Amino acid sequence: MKTLTITRPDDWHVHVRNGTILKAVLPHTARQFARAIIMPNLKPPVTTVDQALAYRDEILAAVPMDVDFTPLMTLYLTATTTAAEIKNAAASEHIHAFKLYPAGATTHSDLGVADIVAAYPLFAAMEKYQIPLLIHGEVTDADCDIFDRERMFIERYLIDIIKQFPKLRVVFEHVTTQEAVQFVESASTNVAATITPQHLLYNRNALFVGGIRPHHYCLPVLKREQHRLALVKAATSGNPKFFLGTDSAPHTTETKENTCGCAGCFSAAIALELYAEAFEAANALDKLEGFASFYGADFYRLPRNSGTITLENTSWDMPSSYGENGISITPLKANETIHWKVKWSNQTEHL
């Protein structure tokens, strides 16, 4: 059987929620990844160091006993975030970034930043204290076509942000367009990007194959094939500016299969398998380790992991849903055949 062994990877963008959903989803992330950047868009959002530390404790309590997993916490940037809180966050060993959600851009972003230019003094503080800014890069104007939102965000905001704050470390999260790839490639080494498995595997046709497909709906929304190809090229290029961030975003099955279905794909249960599929299709499995296990750690100035994880090239059927205690979460590729499988062992220590 064909196998692939790589250094244990990290997920540089994941939503694990809290409460019952957290308990259902966190073990999947913790089994595959040594560490993960935890998104702060809870309801209410995680806006202070104290809240992030309490959330971290809740996450640690959900980690299976036989697994070694470190949550890397982030804070949700609001109009009322202070420079003092940014200094505090930068001084905490457990807080690794701030997340900028333009108000109204996505799930639980209503308390995000409505006036991005007004947040410049906060970007200055992040630049000064060297804590990364993670950006959901989409404009929110109702008259902007949904497929143009990311491109418009670059033109309207990102170009100026990196010009004004050249030493600010920025991660352009879940990039979905060739314009975003080009922007990141041409920016300084302080600018990087995460790429999700769904944006590597699907184009926007996947939203409407034989009917509407709510489990393929996420934000930023899937784009045209030419953009998917640009993302695959970037992810498999060996350029350290592009690294793994699943954006696994669990919602219950009934809130996805709904007249107003939530945005988000739950991929945590097969994240690495999906990336392996995408890299294999591009004939670039040899580039997976850098993308999944090295470049993110380097960008965040953290040590690379020391354990390994092995994937087997074998076919198996994805369950229709995950969850217990009355919760059902439909994963990406539910009921489909998967061609890679993580052979999990508990000898995956990391530094």
Residues contributing to the site for ligand DOR (CB under 6 A): 15, 41, 106-107, 136, 218-219, 249, 263-264
User: Which among Zn ion, ligand DOR, none contacts residue 106 (Cβ within 5 to 8 A by kind)?
Assistant: ligand DOR
Q: Which of 215, 211, 207 is nearest to 257 (CA)?
A: 215
User: Which among Zn ion, ligand DOR, none contacts residue 218 (Cβ within 5 to 8 A by kind)?
Assistant: ligand DOR
**Minimum CB–partner distance for residue 268 and Zn ion (Å):** 12
Query: What's the per-residue H, E or C state across the chain?
Result: CCEEEEECCCEEEECCCCHHHHHHHHHHHHHHCCEEEECCCCCCCCCCHHHHHHHHHHHHHCCCCCCCCEEEEEEECCCCCCHHHHHHHHHCCCEEEEEECECCCCCCCCCCECCCHHHHHHHHHHHHHCCCEEECCCCCCCCCCHHHHHHHHHHHHHHHHHHHCCCCCEEECCCCCHHHHHHHHHCCCCEEEEECHHHHHCCHHHHCCCCCCHHHCCCCCCCCHHHHHHHHHHHCCCCCCEEECCCECCCCHHHHCCCCCCCCCECHHHHHHHHHHHHHHCCCHHHHHHHHHHHHHHHCCCCCCCCEEEEECCCEECCCCECCCCCCECECCCCCEECCEEECCCCCCCC
User: Which among ligand DOR, Zn ion, none contacts residue 341 (Cβ within 5 to 8 A by kind)?
Assistant: none
Burial class of residue 30, CB neighbours in 10 A (0-12, 13-18, 19+): buried
Q: Which is nearer to ligand DOR, 55 or 340 (CB)?
A: 55
**Minimum CB–partner distance for residue 110 and Zn ion (Å):** 15
User: Which among ligand DOR, Zn ion, none contacts residue 151 (Cβ within 5 to 8 A by kind)?
Assistant: none
Q: Which is nearer to ligand DOR, 132 or 264 (CB)?
A: 264
**Minimum CB–partner distance for residue 138 and ligand DOR (Å):** 8
Using rule CB under 5 A, residue 247 touches Zn ion: yes
**Minimum CB–partner distance for residue 249 and ligand DOR (Å):** 4
**Minimum CB–partner distance for residue 13 and Zn ion (Å):** 6
Name the one range near Zn ion by CB under 5 A: 30-38, 247-255, 294-302, 334-342. Answer: 247-255
CB 273 within 8 A of CB 342: yes
Q: Which is nearer to ligand DOR, 62 or 219 (CB)?
A: 219
Please list every residue from 110 through 139 that binds Zn ion, using CB under 5 A: none
- Is 298 known to be catalytic? no
**Minimum CB–partner distance for residue 100 and ligand DOR (Å):** 11
Q: Which residues are bridge partners to 166 per DSSP? A: none
Q: Which residues are bridge partners to 309 per DSSP? A: 6
Task: Give the phi and the psi of residue 161 in degrees, each rounded to 5.
Answer: -60, -45
Q: Which is nearer to Zn ion, 9 or 348 (CB)?
A: 9
Q: Which is nearer to ligand DOR, 28 or 136 (CB)?
A: 136
**Minimum CB–partner distance for residue 251 and ligand DOR (Å):** 6
Q: Which is nearer to ligand DOR, 9 or 264 (CB)?
A: 264
Q: How many CB atoms lie within 10 A of CB 307?
A: 16
Name the one range near Zn ion by CB under 5 A: 67-75, 243-251, 277-285, 343-351. Answer: 243-251
Name the one range near Zn ion by CB under 5 A: 81-89, 157-165, 241-249, 330-338. Answer: 241-249
Catalytic residue among 50, 143, 247, 317: 247
> Which residue is at the shortest CB distance from Zn ion?
247
Name the one range near Zn ion by CB under 5 A: 127-135, 145-153, 246-254, 295-303. Answer: 246-254
What torsion do the CA atoms of 147, 133, 50, 85 make, to the nearest 10 degrees? -120
Q: Which is nearer to ligand DOR, 214 or 290 (CB)?
A: 214
Instruction: Give the binding site for Zn ion (CB under 5 A).
Output: 247
Active site amino acids: 247
